[in-house]
Chain A
């Protein structure tokens, strides 16, 4: 493993963890949905780096595009900000 691969893996992991924390903490649900799609994007790149291109294509098409759009439509129909109980 050369240094470029190691740098990509470390930066990608940090980005995934930060995006996951962002998705949990934020009260604005639309921003949380975009953070979830960032997680799927980095995961798709990791799948490609692990030499599994079919899984990477599936994760990119479904996790980034389809799940995000279904969540955005659901947020548009219900409320946008998460309220305290």
Chain B
């Protein structure tokens, strides 16, 4: 009886596991990521070649699509504008979860940092540069707290705490520089 129960349990676990693996593989070559799974090379959308826009419009956008070229993969990610510059942030970086889930951030930090940002169907060729220190992190921290933390204002204490987390390497901030 116990054996039959375990066999049924095995089938119940097998179906979603195979389903998730299939969806992940299916999405690997898609034009951009899905909500849950990374995608492939982003090929559609106008290629931006004119001067840099005012990135303030991203304050109204929760998620953007970011592609790294080596290895070629794209994912959805939060975006932060501060002082007219554009940033992305990757959390959980000192945890095992971060090492497994945020492999792209390690790749970018190691130099495989050429990619494409797609916002509102426009593709912006970018280079990711990790920012580990500097006063710009105050602006990034403030925007993170108000945009994604749900706080109406960012107090100096909250900014200092968030900035300390970035400088300690708990979260990695990358600036998206045009290339």
- A and B found bound together: no
